[in-house]
């Protein structure tokens, strides 16, 4: 179960890392709430056929626990995704990457305060080593890049997104029994779509531009298929197998995967910083998740 949980957490993290590549170029063709709504629409349409065999007999389960599922959909999808898209309009990419790494920290703190989950010395050491690797990667080996960061108002959206997804990770562990994975995904994406429709309508009515391009269609399909139902399914399996704190520690590897993808797809160069930070990140993850 331990290795399986780590594997699923890595799959989800890699899948989510590609959303940065896709969404980076979409800011000029679709507003943030509409992008989030489009992602949910695609995800809902994909997951619904798989949920139909079990959803009719499970509908009573979801009605009785509607508040819980509304909260799950809001924290993990509606707010977490939209806040990132809002921040990406004005916040530098370095700031976004750095702040997104606070998700595991929030999860561990909340798990400690709410569920009294212990933070052992080895886990703390792994977190510190991993964080050091992330800072090295983000700073490109220049400490001045980190110390001279200036945070803008929109950075708060990224910080709020990290906190929101940490809450989602903990709430998933408390997900009531009695529903299939396919029904669960269809319901939370459907609820998120309902939550996002009014905000998307306001954006479009206020004059925000929506331009259908091949890049937009490709991005929506990827985010609606891989980064939504598949990644959330993998993330849920990881949480069930190794717990929320260990699962979100693996989320620290996100900047590493983004860096690799930038080299492969954007032609960026590789130097000693990438190898050193990669060793620190993966070494820290191994230490923190070791039983």
pTM for the full predicted model: 0.81
Q: Which residues contact 280 (CB under 8 A, 6 or more apart)?
A: 129, 130, 132, 133, 136
Residue-range domain boundaries for the chain: 2-289
Q: What is the C-alpha to C-alpha distance for residues 77 and 70, in angstroms, rounded to an integer? A: 10
Q: What is the pLDDT of residues 131-164, one digit of tens each?
A: 787 777 767 677 766 666 655 666 678 888 988 9
Least confident among 47-51, 135-139, 180-184, 282-286: 135-139
Distance in angstroms between the alpha carbons of the first and the last residue of the chain:
11
Q: Which residues contact 220 (CB under 8 A, 6 or more apart)?
A: 35, 38, 39, 42
Q: Between the CA of residue 230 and those of 8, 15, 288, what are the distances in Å?
A: 10, 8, 25
Q: What is the pLDDT of residues 186-217, one digit of tens each?
A: 999 999 999 999 999 999 999 888 888 998 99
What is the pLDDT, as a whole number, of residue 38? 95
Q: What is the pLDDT of residues 255-288, one digit of tens each?
A: 788 778 777 776 767 677 777 877 888 788 777 7
Where is 266: in which H helix or E strand? helix 254-266
Question: Percent of the chain having pLDDT more than 90?
Answer: 36
CB 81 within 8 A of CB 180: no
Q: Residue 265's closest CA among 20, 71, 47?
A: 20
Q: What is the C-alpha to C-alpha distance for residues 93 and 87, in angstroms, rounded to an integer? A: 10
Work out the burial of residue 27: count CB atoms within 10 Å of its CB; fewer than 13 is exposed, 13-18 middle, 19 or more buried: middle
Write out the two tokens for 185: 């995904």
Q: What is the C-alpha to C-alpha distance for residues 153 and 90, in angstroms, rounded to an integer? A: 9
- The 10 Å Cβ neighbour count of residue 118 is 9
């Amino acid at each position: 179960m331990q290795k399986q949980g780590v594997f699923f957490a890595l799959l989800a993290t890699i899948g989510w890392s590609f959303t940065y590549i896709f969404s980076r170029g979409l800011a000029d063709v679709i507003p943030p709430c509409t992008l989030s709504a489009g992602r949910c629409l695609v995800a809902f349409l994909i997951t619904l056929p798989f949920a139909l065999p079990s959803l009719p007999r499970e509908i009573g389960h979801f009605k009785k626990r509607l508040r819980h599922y509304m909260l799950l959909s809001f924290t993990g999808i509606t707010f977490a995704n939209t806040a990132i898209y809002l921040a990406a309009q004005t916040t530098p990419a370095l700031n976004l990457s750095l702040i997104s790494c606070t998700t595991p920290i929030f999860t561990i703190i909340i798990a400690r305060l709410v569920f009294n989950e212990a933070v052992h010395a080895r886990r703390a050491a792994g977190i510190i080593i991993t964080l050091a690797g992330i800072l090295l990667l983000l700073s490109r080996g220049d400490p001045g890049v980190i110390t001279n960061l200036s945070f803008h108002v929109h950075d708060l959206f990224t910080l709020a997104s990290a906190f929101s997804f940490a809450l989602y990770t903990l709430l998933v562990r408390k997900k009531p029994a009695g529903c299939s994975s396919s029904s669960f995904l269809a319901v939370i994406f459907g609820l998120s779509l309902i939550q996002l429709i009014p905000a998307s309508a306001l954006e479009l009515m206020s004059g925000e531009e929506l331009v259908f391009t091949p890049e937009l269609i490709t991005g929506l399909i990827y985010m609606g298929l891989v980064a939504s139902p598949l990644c959330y399914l993998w993330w849920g399996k990881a949480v069930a197998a190794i717990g929320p704190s260990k699962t979100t520690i693996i989320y620290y590897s996100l900047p590493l995967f983004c860096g690799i993808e930038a080299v492969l797809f954007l032609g960026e160069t590789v130097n000693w910083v990438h190898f050193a930070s990669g060793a620190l990140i993966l070494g820290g993850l191994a230490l923190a998740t070791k039983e």
